[in-house]
């Protein structure tokens, strides 16, 4: 009986570290498929837990959010700190990037302040070797009195040994890391706070004292929750006096920055005799030299704009258009003729034959023809991300976005919205500040998602074929400008709040991985194909049925009294001042509420042939009307799935409905103003 019980001894280990240092890779490799993913209670921060079988022990591994400190600035930091203090894991597995040891140890020092048994895993041993850097991990372990191990997560190097060390550490219940001793003024202030709050001399008490010195309200409320309000006020006043004396010992700096300096001062002394660099010939790496140019305050934005212009020119003018034409011709001729012959040989009814050729091939096929252009765009975006340049763009836009009420973290959902607005809205969970997150959600539908691209290309190809790439790019730029302007308006007049702190790690530039780029590109293309085969297929069939049958469900010519025409004619006058008051276009816009690509498939279904569609568009609307239509498509309400994602993130229908009405209103006003003013000027 006793031996059976020992087989199920459970230990909890918390995986903690900075973002982007291989923490999640370690979690996935150690737990495999035995994972549970959800959200932490009360917040939208992802919670990941897994199990490891080791000898007679079951290890429950919790992957805490990537954080830079234990200061309660963000939801991620609060979640991590609360788990460590409340759940009391047996071991903290602190993963650090060996190539940025000094910065990563800033969090490690704070973890050691708590006094929980800690294992320090120095990741990216392969990069250290390439850079000619060696670490004396044995000496570092002695200085901190904790286990320290070199690992390379991506190559599975030393991961089994890491698990063993964590288990050994969990068994040493008398274990406690060394006190982290700071400079004299900081130690005096800590001692005064310990005495003021009558805290016992322990690691956790020191941690609380340091947090109080950093003006941490959460810790103050925790320590004074059972104290009368007048005594609380006295404690706060005395604490403020201690902080004031501490700050006066220096010529400048707040208490938060002074403690940060004290920590880095400790880390600098800690690393003496630990880090050895063989190659000292070059002070600046290749990444540093590139950053001197691409992050230059005068060149950064022009370089970014030129890169975008090149991407759009290649994707939609040079190369991309040729590929799209070839795919379109293949679908419209080879595939169309083959399917037509097959249906004829099978003696298929005329209705079925027209449905397949006009709705399926004409509708869905017309959208799939744009896949080459989209795949090029996805590929270039993946190259920018994997090379390390995208992180630089996030950094240089942070200052600009902050002035407009949005954190630099919003740039990540903005980039994601180039692919899909729905997933971009869901990704706003990385923005801790609630008001900034809501403003970002309201901004995202203004960014052109990949679903709008086929519509832009269709219209621009008919009216602006000589400047296709530039016209399509203009849609993206206008969307960003209007979206940011709207976010600024919301900040000024509706949701005033303090700006949040934004930190991002700039990894060295690297040659993009062919595997990563191809995987990301194929993933995005597959999502596009899946939508074409499901949502667009259904919409195309419905559009075909409603455009070929009347209310008595008798088959009629699409241009006569079909169900669609009878509905569209009533709505069309509303859009006449915008330059595109025709029932065919209005109904295509309505189908676009399901999925924006449906606008293309709907128009192809209504007009049956591409040549007829192009001729009809040029007869119905002018180039000004065409650009006005593109503006409306850019700005009006997103698809149903994006609306539901917004509703889930807002946790209410009201703001989601407001967002939709707001978008349609802005789209209508913008298109109206553009068409009327441009028409007046060009008279």
pLDDT in tens, 79-88: 888 898 888 8
Helix (H, G, I), strand (E, B) or coil at 471: helix
Token couple for 318: 């040079």
User: What is the spatial distance between Cα 566 and Cα 92, in angstroms, rounded to a whole number?
Assistant: 68
**Best CA proximity match to 332, nearest among 360, 352, 371:** 360
Q: What is the mean pLDDT of the chain?
A: 79
Across 653-663, average pLDDT:
85
* Backbone conformation region of residue 39, classed left if phi is above 0, alpha if psi is from -120 to 50, else beta: beta
Is the distance from CB of 112 to CB of 177 less than 8 angstroms? yes
Flag whether pLDDT at 3 surpasses 50. no
Token couple for 615: 């001729």
pLDDT given for residue 659 in this prediction: 84
**Best CA proximity match to 461, nearest among 334, 626, 592, 588:** 626
pLDDT given for residue 550 in this prediction: 75
DSSP strand pairing (275-277 vs 35-39): unpaired
User: What is the spatial distance between Cα 383 and Cα 223, in angstroms, rounded to a whole number?
Assistant: 50
DSSP strand pairing (275-277 vs 133-135): antiparallel
Across 311-334, average pLDDT:
76
At residue 359 the predicted structure's pLDDT band, cuts being 50, 70 and 90, is low
Place of tokens 């539908």: 445
Token couple for 122: 């120095």
Flag whether pLDDT at 270 surpasses 80. yes
Token couple for 32: 């495999």
CA angle at 31 for the pair 43 and 432, rounded to the nearest 5°: 20
Q: Which has more confidence, 640 or 174?
A: 640
Nearby residues of 179 by Cβ (< 8 Å), 6 or more positions away: 203, 206
Across 425-430, average pLDDT:
70
User: What is the spatial distance between Cα 659 and Cα 663, in angstroms, rounded to a whole number?
Assistant: 6
**Best CA proximity match to 443, nearest among 390, 407, 399:** 407
Strands, E assignment, 145-204: 148-150
Flag whether pLDDT at 57 surpasses 80. no
107-150 pLDDT, tens digit each = 999 998 888 889 999 988 777 777 778 888 899 988 888 999 98
User: What is the spatial distance between Cα 245 and Cα 548, in angstroms, rounded to a whole number?
Assistant: 83
User: What is the spatial distance between Cα 416 and Cα 406, in angstroms, rounded to a whole number?
Assistant: 16
pLDDT given for residue 43 in this prediction: 46
181-231 pLDDT, tens digit each = 888 888 899 899 988 888 876 778 888 898 898 888 888 888 888 888 888
Flag whether pLDDT at 558 surpasses 70. no
User: What is the spatial distance between Cα 280 and Cα 142, in angstroms, rounded to a whole number?
Assistant: 27
DSSP strand pairing (148-150 vs 275-277): unpaired
pLDDT given for residue 533 in this prediction: 67
Helix (H, G, I), strand (E, B) or coil at 7: coil
The radius of gyration computed from the CA coordinates of the chain, to the nearest angstrom, equals 30
Q: What share of the chain is helix, strand, coil (3-state, %, to 5)?
A: 65, 10, 25
Sign (positive/negative) of CA torsion 226, 230, 232, 235? negative
**Least confident range of 163-172, 337-346, 562-571:** 562-571
Q: What are the two backbone dihedrals, phi and then psi, of residue 241, each rounded to the nearest 5 degrees?
A: -65, -45
pLDDT given for residue 669 in this prediction: 93
pLDDT given for residue 501 in this prediction: 52
Token couple for 313: 């020119």
At residue 40 the predicted structure's pLDDT band, cuts being 50, 70 and 90, is very low
Across 380-403, average pLDDT:
77
Q: pTM of the predicted model, to two decimals?
A: 0.57
Q: Which has more confidence, 360 or 457?
A: 457
Sign (positive/negative) of CA torsion 348, 353, 355, 359? positive
At residue 46 the predicted structure's pLDDT band, cuts being 50, 70 and 90, is low
pLDDT given for residue 630 in this prediction: 93
pLDDT given for residue 6 in this prediction: 45
At residue 608 the predicted structure's pLDDT band, cuts being 50, 70 and 90, is low
At residue 504 the predicted structure's pLDDT band, cuts being 50, 70 and 90, is low
**Least confident range of 174-188, 298-312, 418-432:** 418-432
Q: Which has more confidence, 567 or 532?
A: 567
At residue 2 the predicted structure's pLDDT band, cuts being 50, 70 and 90, is very low
User: What is the spatial distance between Cα 11 and Cα 89, in angstroms, rounded to a whole number?
Assistant: 8
Flag whether pLDDT at 433 surpasses 70. no
Helix (H, G, I), strand (E, B) or coil at 6: helix
User: What is the spatial distance between Cα 549 and Cα 256, in angstroms, rounded to a whole number?
Assistant: 72
Flag whether pLDDT at 496 surpasses 60. no
Flag whether pLDDT at 4 surpasses 50. no
Place of tokens 């993913």: 37
Is the distance from CB of 313 to CB of 468 less than 8 angstroms? no
Token couple for 425: 């809205």
Across 468-488, average pLDDT:
84
At residue 96 the predicted structure's pLDDT band, cuts being 50, 70 and 90, is very high
- Beta bridge partners of residue 47, listed in sequence order: 38
Choose from 248-252, 376-380, 541-545, 662-666 the range with maximum mean pLDDT.
Answer: 662-666
Q: Which has more confidence, 197 or 9?
A: 197
Q: What are the two backbone dihedrals, phi and then psi, of residue 49, each rounded to the nearest 5 degrees?
A: -130, 145
pLDDT given for residue 39 in this prediction: 46
pLDDT given for residue 1 in this prediction: 38
**Best CA proximity match to 168, nearest among 122, 119, 109, 115:** 119
Choose from 319-323, 580-584, 641-645 the range with maximum mean pLDDT.
Answer: 580-584
**Among residues of the chain, what percentage have pLDDT more than 70?**
83
pLDDT given for residue 404 in this prediction: 64
**Among residues of the chain, what percentage have pLDDT more than 90?**
9
What is the distance, to the nearest Å, from the Cα of residue 633 to the centroid of all Cα atoms in its chain? Answer: 24
Across 295-300, average pLDDT:
82
pLDDT given for residue 257 in this prediction: 75
């Amino acid at each position: 009986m006793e031996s059976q019980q020992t087989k199920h001894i459970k230990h909890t280990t918390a995986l903690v570290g900075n973002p982007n240092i291989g923490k999640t890779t370690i979690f996935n490799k150690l737990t495999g498929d035995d994972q549970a993913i959800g959200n932490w209670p009360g917040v939208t921060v992802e919670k990941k837990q897994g199990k490891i079988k080791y000898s007679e022990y079951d290890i429950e591994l919790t992957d805490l959010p990537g954080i830079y400190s234990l200061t309660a600035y963000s939801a991620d930091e609060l979640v991590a700190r609360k788990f460590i203090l409340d759940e009391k894991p047996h071991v903290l597995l602190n993963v650090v990037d060996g190539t940025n040891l000094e910065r990563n140890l800033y969090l490690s020092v704070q973890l050691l302040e708590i006094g929980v048994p800690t294992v320090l895993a120095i990741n990216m041993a392969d990069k250290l070797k390439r850079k000619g850097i060696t670490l004396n991990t044995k000496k570092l372990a002695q200085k901190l009195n904790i286990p320290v191990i070199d690992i390379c997560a991506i190559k599975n190097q030393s991961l089994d040994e890491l698990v063993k060390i964590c288990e050994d550490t969990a068994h040493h219940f008398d274990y406690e890391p060394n006190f982290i001793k700071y400079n004299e003024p900081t130690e005096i202030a800590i001692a005064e706070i310990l005495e003021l709050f009558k805290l016992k001399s322990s690691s956790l008490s020191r941690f609380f004292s340091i947090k109080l010195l950093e003006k941490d309200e959460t810790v103050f409320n925790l320590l004074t929750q059972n104290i009368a309000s007048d005594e609380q006020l006295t404690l706060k006043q005395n604490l403020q006096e201690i902080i004031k004396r501490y700050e006066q010992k220096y010529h400048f700096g707040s208490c938060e920055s002074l403690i940060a300096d004290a920590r880095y001062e400790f880390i600098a002394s800690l690393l003496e005799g630990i880090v050895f660099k063989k190659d000292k010939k070059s002070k600046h790496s290749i990444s540093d030299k590139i950053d001197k140019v691409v992050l230059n305050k005068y060149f950064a934005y022009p370089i970014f704009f030129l890169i975008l212009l090149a991407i759009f020119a290649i994707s939609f003018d040079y190369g991309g258009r040729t590929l799209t034409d070839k795919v379109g011709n293949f679908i419209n001729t080879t595939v169309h003729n083959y399917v037509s012959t097959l249906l004829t040989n099978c003696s298929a009814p005329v209705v079925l034959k027209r449905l397949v050729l006009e709705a399926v091939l004409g509708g869905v096929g017309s959208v799939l023809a744009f896949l080459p252009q989209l795949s090029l765009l996805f590929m270039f975006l993946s190259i920018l991300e994997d090379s390390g340049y995208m992180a630089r763009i996030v950094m240089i836009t942070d200052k600009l976005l902050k002035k407009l009420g949005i954190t630099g973290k919003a740039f990540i959902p903005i980039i994601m919205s180039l692919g899909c607005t729905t997933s971009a809205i869901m990704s706003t969970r990385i923005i801790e500040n609630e008001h900034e997150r809501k403003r970002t959600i309201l901004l995202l539908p203004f960014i052109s998602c990949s679903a709008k691209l086929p519509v832009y290309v269709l219209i621009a190809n008919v009216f602006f074929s000589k400047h296709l790439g530039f016209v399509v790019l203009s849609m993206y730029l206008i969307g960003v400008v209007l979206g940011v302007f709207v976010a600024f308006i919301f900040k000024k007049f509706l949701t005033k709040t303090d700006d949040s702190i934004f930190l991002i790690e700039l990894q060295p530039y690297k040659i993009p991985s062919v595997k990563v780029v191809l995987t990301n590109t194929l993933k995005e293309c597959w999502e596009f194909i899946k939508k074409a085969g499901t949502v667009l297929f259904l919409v195309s069939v419905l559009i075909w049925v409603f455009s070929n049958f009347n209310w008595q469900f008798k088959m009629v010519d699409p241009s006569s009294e079909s169900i669609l025409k009878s509905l569209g004619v009533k709505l069309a006058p509303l859009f006449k001042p915008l330059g595109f008051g025709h029932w065919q276009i209005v109904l295509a816009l309505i189908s676009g509420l399901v999925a924006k690509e449906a606008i293309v498939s709907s128009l192809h279904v209504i007009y049956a042939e591409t040549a007829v569609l192009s001729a009809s568009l040029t007869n119905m609307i002018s180039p000004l009307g065409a650009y006005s239509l593109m503006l409306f498509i850019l700005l009006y309400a997103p698809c149903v799935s994006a609306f539901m994602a917004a509703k889930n993130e807002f946790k209410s229908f009201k703001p989601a409905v407001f967002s939709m009405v707001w978008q349609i209103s802005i789209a209508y006003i913008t298109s109206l103003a553009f068409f009327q003013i441009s028409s007046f000027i060009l008279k």
